[in-house]
Amino acid sequence: MYIGTNRALCMTSMQGVRLDAMIIRDTYRSLWHKLEIGWQYHEDYWKPYKGYKVGPSDRRTVHCDEFVRQVPGWQYEEDRDHNNEAAIARNVSVVIMASNVAWLWGVRDFQLVGVDYCGGMARMEGMYNVSTGHDARYSRPVPPSIEIAFRHMREAIEKGGSVVNCSPGTKLEAVEKMEWKSG
């Protein structure tokens, strides 16, 4: 199963990759520094995307097939509320959100690609290859809070599965690194 996060649809490196599902943690307006670029992404990529779309229940401005609510701790089993919304781990990264959603769908072995958004892998198509407003954070070491969150995710997954980070040049230390091999 290939699950993309937030901007994956317009990443140059992802063109031609069939994504089964897309996960967005925020809203399309918060993906770029300029709000109008986020709106254009929503129109050009997100809305026309034919796969399954998942978003956060507290931000229903994004067109999604399913909304999930964030609660403390990794969710090992599906826990739906009165709105039929599943619970997933409250998180600091859409990658953690996507991983917990995938876990609930039955995925047990994870290969992360593109984590840290560094290097050529993060280049966007056309007008989308502009500032996200957070560019400088990726040139610094990964903040301790992010390392801790990914460590918790890794520990949860390893109770019944495996996870490796195949992102070329990643700075994230909390998840075992593995060299990316295409094909």
pLDDT, tens digit, for every residue of 43-100? 999 999 999 999 999 888 779 999 999 999 999 999 999 999 999 999 999 999 999 9
Find out whether 126 and 177 touch, Cβ atoms under 8 Å.
Answer: no
Indicate the domain borders of the chain: 3-165
Question: pLDDT for 128-152, tens place per residue?
Answer: 988 776 666 666 788 899 999 999 9
pTM for this prediction: 0.90
Residues in the chain, total: 183
What are the start-end ranges of the H helices in the chain? 35-41, 94-104, 144-157
